[in-house]
Chain A
Amino acid sequence: MHPFTYTRAATSEQAVRALAAAGPGARLLAGGTTLYDLMKLGVERPSHVIDINAVQELSGFDTSGPRELVFGGLSRMSDVAADRRLVEGYPALSEALWRAASQQLRNMASLGGNLLQRTRCPYFRGGAPFACNKREPGSGCDAIGGIDRGHALLGGSRSCIATYPGDFAVALVAFDGEIDVLGPNGARSLPVEQLHRDPGDTPHVETSLRPDEVITRIRVPATRAGRASTYHKIRDRESYAFALASAAVGLEMDGDVVRQARIALGGVATRPWRAREAEEMLRGRRLTGRAAEEAGRIAMRDAQPGSHNEFRIELARRTVADALTIAAGRA
């Protein structure tokens, strides 16, 4: 681990000022579940770590409001996952949290930090001798032509095919979640769907956050589609693994006819991936097994396989179909 200095912020404003003062080598410390891991690997080498765990206004959440659900950026994944109103009214959001990581990690990890979790690409995490444009811009991408079984089928570029690993952001994207951020020039909001960037030629720039901004809140508009929802996650084992393919689905139904569908894919793309064409296709249709499978096919229509990950195209199609079936069963 490389030497670094450490300070604690007591308020969001202090954290923002400390970020601005410390410059580009600074990192915020929330749960530490990703940051410390990457620091030990030498992938993250912050010169300055600003601990925001003592910032009171960032913790806590409120799922009782009629218009929106509100989550502090520092609320812990395990606390939110266990919230009864979420479990009953928005199972997709709860499942996306408790199907991630392990209980120990969820106890520590914050929602804001979770949105920013970095890829599990082994060429990114492995360090030398692997080339990685995310880790060292311009060095190349060894995932392309390498062990790409877990890599992105959607959204990749010639510079990077790293999969966005998170689950909660996928569910948020399905439900039009927004984040509030605080920076030196004040507060702003943006849709979670605009938080993560396509890798393009700059895969090291992963989000549209500025380096001196703090995620203060996550907000989700209240919707009837919350109840008939699921986060369906298929992985190499039953727990404690990243998705080979996942689907966050929410449905508003008239009997067995779809009034509105929300579908987002995880584990198969470089960022949380909303499948709007599949949603459109389902609108006004009876949700038969065939329709669900067609939605899966449309969602994966633009998939580009590499050497070892083609099976996940079919897997993702079927994951979407199963997720739609599960969600419909909750309507």
Chain B
Amino acid sequence: MPDGKYPSTPRVDAWDKVRGAAIYAADDARPRMLHGALAVAAVNRGQIVSLDVERARAAPGVRLVLTHQDMQGVQSAGFLLGGGFAFQSFQPMLSPAIHYRGQPIALVVADTVEAAQHAASLVAATYAVEPFQLSLDAPAQDIVAQHGSPLPQATYADKVAGDADGAYAAAAVKVDATYLSPPQHPNPLELLSTVAEWRDGTLIVKEGSQNSGAVRHGLARQLGLDPARVQVLSPQAGGAFGQKNSHQSHTVLAAVAARRLDAPVKLVVSRSQGFHGASFRPASRHRVRLGADRAGRIAAAIHEADQQTSRHDLFPASFTEMTARLYGIRNFRGHERMVRTDVQTPGYMRAPFEHPAGFAFESAMDELAYALDMDPVALRLANDTTVDPLTGRPLSSRHLAECLRRGAERFGWARRSMAPASMVERDGTAIGWGVACGAHKAAASPAAARLEAFADGRIRLAVAGHEMGQGIRTALANVLARRLSVDPRTIEIIVGDTRAADQHLTAGSWGTASATPAADAAGERLIQALRSLDPGYSGGAPAEVLRRAGRASVAVEVATKAPGQPDAVFQRLQGGLPAVQGPEFPDFVSMSYAAHFAEVRVEPRTRRVRVPRIVTVVDCGRVVSPRTAESQVRGAAIWGLGSALREISETDGRYGGFVNADLAEYVVPVHADVPEIDVGFIDEPDPRLNALGVKGLGEVAMTGVAAALANAVHHATGLRIRELPIRLDQLLAAPAARPT
């Protein structure tokens, strides 16, 4: 297209997905396959005193039972944020120690999955139990400030600009409020699952992951293998959402069992076990203070937050990295603390910090708008910036004001009346309109790509990247098809395969911004290679050139990296370690932005909240795959709705773990909950970040949705609810509006 916009190409793997031809790890079914099932701890903290596996061993069809007594020589893979590869430093079943309820204590392998599950239920353990704590209101020794901790201070020190406390004290209009966000679980539809087998001393693992490189190097470290002897195949993940961003606890168990039994072993972690065996969004509490002058110019913001971590790892938060940069507030202070609780280590769940931080900060912005009696959109527009408040560097691009203006136009915001409970239907239904913004770092990682064209017409791209449903194959195909002037359907794309390219973590909304520039550069390199065969070549199907030159194929390789990254990052890529840059780059700071507008309807008697529509406009740089990008934004709006109004992982202080550990009791939105979602893109490239001008999308699209809904609930009812999820529990605590 002449304006540089990309066409709305259909999802390249849509046909495979609807036919069931897209293969996920647990789809692997072969005659000699054996099946695993986990037995898990019934207590939350302590030591295994006795473990009786004799009945399980004797059960029909059982081939093997592994416990901590069978794992000699196996190491921890190390914590992702501590130079390792796993979501937590603790590897279950290496000792009798129990760190959380639901922790695996035995793996049973049998001829059928039913036999394995039955035998797993026969494993009996006794424990010496120890006290545990689950609350953010923890004793002082369980609270660790990120500032001054062993964590890398360049990232995790307090975020300070100007004198926030002084400016706040002097401000004419103030807001000081505390917001709570509960533990939540991402529940990708594809359960955590692994097929492990050994061939000639090489370990081959199939597992849906967004970090096959970490699975590979994690297994190599755990089993003392040369990484060249480990292959990880993750062509599809059936949803990942951050939970599958690193090496899991169950994978090595399947690998050890497969080696013992000399047969492929499939291990699928049940839904309920997945609530306890993998990472989740930790609870967090945010105190936000805003101080402004009477014209709505914000002089100071102070954002202090506590976030749950485990006892064995320091999982830090990056709430204020985003909130410090959402507006042009010159005096900012952000301070974050980690609270040790007795759980598996929590982790990254879509917009891991930006969603709860956005709920808190953008709710506070709404409170400030009401304290000022100022339109909430106007307040946000009055605090725009072109400079990063923390570093003083220019922002590579920022179109948040345009997101707000376009969103307000599409939503019809001008027809809103400011006063709470002022828009009411004839039957007494209260109407609420809320707005909130979001930002997310625009980051990038190094990526290696190999592009091959064949005389028979095939084109094959292998690149660092993972397909978790977001549509990275479609984005890659769209970019490469334009570069080569070929039909995107002729391009085979290999992602998530450690045999084809070194694999980096695909997360943090940097996947497209990292992989598509590599694909584009590989395309350019291929054109050069084809020109060396035919100087007149100017794009189009390469097969003709190859046939005339008598060549069966031509291959090129490129490696790209983020602006300012040293070449040493390629070693980290090869070692399966995170090598991400952003939002700070040497000459600028890069963020993606979104503005959300939400309507709620609150029933007069029961106070049931319905959401008829959400409008989201996003500045994510150039949109390289409009179809899948729109889909991402819709999914983010739905998840934002779920997070705001539905989702909570319930804990019982007597037992630890999570009580509502299934998809009936952990309430996510269903189709009947899903509103009309209107998606808009600014679609202005950010060429300073990469040649294509791509920023990130998946997470900024969710950031702020919860606040827009909470602000809409306030507008409808006058109730300011500061704890998620907003449910009838809180709405009925206050007197109901009466039908008119």
Interface residues of A (CB under 8 A from B): 1-3, 40, 42, 120, 122-123, 125-126, 128-130, 142, 145-147, 149, 234, 236-242, 244, 289, 308, 311-312, 314-315, 318-319, 321-322
Contacts and interface: CB of A to CB of B under 8 A. Distances in A.
B664 interface: yes
A311 B732 contact: yes
A289 B660 contact: no
Contacts of A308: 729
Contact of B729 (A149, A238, A239): A149
A239 B655 contact: no
B659 A146 contact: yes
Interface of B: 42-43, 60, 101, 114, 117-118, 121, 603, 605-608, 610, 646, 650, 652, 654-655, 659-662, 664-665, 667, 669-673, 727-729, 732-733, 736, 739
B670 A238 contact: yes
Contact of B118 (A2, A122, A142, A239): A2
B8 to A, nearest CB: 30
Nearest 10 CB-CB pairings of A with B: A238-B672, A239-B672, A129-B42, A318-B605, A236-B667, A311-B732, A311-B729, A128-B42, A147-B650, A147-B659
B671 A146 contact: no
A237 B669 contact: yes
Nearest to B642: A237
A122 B665 contact: yes
A125 to B, nearest CB: 8
A315 B667 contact: no
Nearest to A314: B732
Contact of A3 (B118, B603, B607): B118
29 contacts: A1-B117, A3-B60, A42-B121, A122-B661, A123-B659, A129-B42, A129-B101, A129-B655, A142-B652, A145-B654, A147-B652, A234-B608, A236-B646, A236-B667, A237-B646, A237-B669, A237-B673, A238-B610, A238-B670, A238-B672, A239-B670, A239-B671, A239-B672, A239-B673, A242-B664, A244-B728, A308-B729, A311-B733, A318-B607
Contact of B727 (A42, A236, A289): A236
Contact of B660 (A122, A129, A237, A315): A122
B732 A315 contact: yes
Contacts of A3: 60, 118
Contacts of B121: 2, 42
Nearest to B665: A122
Dominant secondary structure of chain B at its interface with chain A: loop
B330 to A, nearest CB: 43
B605 A322 contact: yes
B660 A241 contact: no
A250 B662 CA distance: 35
A146 B739 CA distance: 36
A128 B126 CA distance: 12
Given A122-B659, A241-B670, A308-B729, 19 more contacts: A1-B118, A129-B43, A129-B655, A130-B655, A142-B654, A146-B659, A147-B652, A147-B659, A234-B606, A236-B646, A239-B673, A240-B672, A244-B728, A311-B728, A311-B729, A311-B732, A322-B603, A322-B605, A322-B606
Contacts of A240: 670, 672
Contacts of B662: 125
Q: Which of A125, A145, A146, A236 has the most CB of B within 10 A?
A: A236
Given A129-B43, A142-B654, A318-B606, A234 B728 contact: yes
Contacts of A289: 739
A315 B43 CA distance: 36
A2 B59 CA distance: 11
A42 B122 CA distance: 11
Contacts of B43: 129
Contacts of B60: 3
A1 B114 contact: yes
Contacts of B605: 318, 321-322
A120 B659 CA distance: 12
Contacts of B727: 236
Contacts of A142: 652, 654-655
Nearest to A42: B121
A130 B60 CA distance: 28
Given A2-B118, A146-B659, A238-B672, A315 B728 contact: yes
A321 B428 CA distance: 15
Nearest to B674: A238
Given A3-B118, A238-B672, A315 B606 contact: yes
Contacts of A241: 664, 667, 670
A311 B665 CA distance: 18
B118 to A, nearest CB: 6
Contacts of B655: 129-130, 142
B36 to A, nearest CB: 16
Contact of B667 (A120, A234, A237, A314): A237
B241 to A, nearest CB: 19
Contacts of A125: 662
Given A129-B43, A146-B652, A237 B118 contact: no
A124 to B, nearest CB: 12
A244 B665 CA distance: 12
Contacts of B732: 311, 314-315, 318
